[in-house]
Amino acid sequence: MTIAEKNGDEGFKMGDPYYCSECERTHVKGKIYKEHLKYAQEIIDEEDPESEENLVEKEDFEDEEGLEDEEDFKDEEDFKDEEEFEELEENEELEDEEFLEEKDSEKEDTKEKDLTMQECIERVKTLPGVGEATLVKLVEAGFSSLESIAFTPPSIIQEDSGLGEKTTAKIIQSAMKKLNIGFKSAKEVWNHRKNISRITSGSQELDNLLLGGIETGAVLEFFGEFRTGKTQIMHQLCVNVQLPKEKGGIEGAALYIDTEGTFRPERIIQMSEALDLDHKKVLKNIIYGRAYNSDHQILLVKEATNIIKEKNIKLIVVDSLIGHFRSEYIGRGTLADRQQRINQHLHDLLRLTDIYPDLSICVTNQVQAKPNVFYGNPIQATGGNIIAHGSTIRIYLRKGKGEQRVAKVVDAPHLPVAEAVFSITEDGISD
Ligand code: ADP
Ligand code: MG
């Protein structure tokens, strides 16, 4: 039976909007979802098999079938969640004229961004030793810019792209040369730091504590006990990053990697409305990935490399960073193994800020307070010292009176050790 018959809609054609009882949603554009590949295949076979659109779809299937092998964590549920945000785009009211206009302007955007992506790839192509075949391997593995090649350890490029050791070493070396990576004068470093942009947290006090807000080109770790506002701050930043510069944003989109299932679009709506923003647009600019285990989490960050440019991502959230690692390594594996993997994951994140200096990465980390060391050093956190060394800025959160929370910067190379008080209300983070 085809989707069309299942829906009792005889006139169904590829590209028509249709209600899909398989995933209880309306699809448009004829995009086929992984959870009903079989039905989709039947429809395509009935359609003109030579049409360009169908050919593209078929290619997609091949990729997706490959993915199906990893069944241990990619069951049907996973697929649904992963695609929820992609689908959001397509579910909106089709008749709405405003919506159609929006679609048009979006097309323009994509073109422009494709060009820059293309330009990046062109630059990779000019590296000595990079022919067509090597280029394809690199791009497919996500190394589509000189920066991503220069900043990634050779072993990772080798493993992900399948290129040989010598070729990889040579390519990295020439990418570094092209980018002029090496020693810099302090003046150059200062010029770079002067131009760092910042995202407002919503609270003036907290912004002041961070010398103006959440900085780009850095990883910020917000850690504290349960209900100290870590997830709320992450939500607020996903909204605020989209604000125009004069309102404290950096006009970018956000990528939210949720390991605990605590992301709530309804909070985004409340926060957007408090800022007089169109919540539909705000939601559209938050790409969501639910990580079901630590392997999946690592994979999502690796995949992020490919969409940062395309989707204009300026903020990546990982909420929470080590929850999965902690629970998975109880009773199996050693602490050293766990630390090793957390360390690699954190370095994947740090590397992203090297490749994309106008990207900010915020992670959360839940700690249990030890009552007797509450004020001294409550930082014997879940990830131990590795997190402390890997993050650039660490902010410790604790509860104050009522809706108040206290933030304290710990260990930041350039920030004073001071505290800020902020509140969490229905409207989000404020003073
Ligand atoms: P965690 O640090 O565990 O991630 P959260 O960020 O989830 O903590 O913070 C939870 C707190 O946020 C709640 O205790 C509550 O004080 C506040 N909060 C959550 N939602 C709302 C809301 N809609 N209105 C006001 N406060 C809220
Ligand atoms: Mg939380």
pLDDT tens-digit series, residues 263-280: 999 999 999 999 999 999
Predicted pLDDT at 114: 47
DSSP letters along 102-131, please?
A: HHHHHHHHHHHHHHHHHHHHHHHHTSTT--
Side-chain-facing half-sphere of 197: CA atoms under 13 Å: 22
| CATH 3.90.1310.10 holds for 193-430 | no
Predicted local confidence at residue 348, as pLDDT: 87
Please check the confidence at residue 319 and state whether its pLDDT lies above 60: yes
Domain ranges of the chain: 3-65, 88-178, 193-430
Residue 145's CB is within 10 A of a number of other CB atoms, namely 25
Q: What are phi and psi of 315, to 5 degrees?
A: -140, 130
More confident site: 179 or 55: 179
Q: Which residues pair with 287 in a beta bridge?
A: 255
Instruction: Give 362's strand partners.
Output: 220, 317
Gap between the Cα atoms of 4 and 216, Å rounded? 48
pLDDT at 143: 86
* Atom 5 in ligand 1: residue holding the nearest Cα: 229
Ligand 1 atom showing the smallest separation from residue 234 Cα: 6
Q: What confidence tens digit (pLDDT) does each residue in 64-97 have? A: 333 333 334 334 444 444 444 444 434 433 334 4
Q: For the structural domain made of 88-178, what CATH number should be given?
A: 1.10.150.20
Q: Which residue among 227, 256, 263, 405 is best mutated to probe the pocket of ligand 1, counting the most ligand atoms within 8 A of its Cβ?
A: 227
Exposure on the CB side of residue 200, measured as CA atoms within 13 A:
21
**88-178 against 193-430: fold identical:** no
pTM for the whole thing?
0.67
Residue 369 has pLDDT above 70, yes or no: no
> From CA 328, how far away is CA 15, in angstroms rounded?
43
Confidence (pLDDT) at 18: 53
The whole-chain average pLDDT of the chain stands at: 74
Indicate the pLDDT class of residue 323, thresholds 50, 70 and 90.
Answer: confident
Shortest-distance atom of ligand 1 to CA 226 = 3
Chain segment 207-242, per-residue pLDDT in tens? 999 989 999 988 999 999 999 999 999 999 999 999
Query: For a pLDDT cut of 90, what percent of the chain falls above it?
Result: 35
Radius of gyration of the chain (CA): 23
Interval between CA 267 and ligand 1 midpoint (Å): 10
Q: Token pair 């902020």 is at which residue?
A: 422
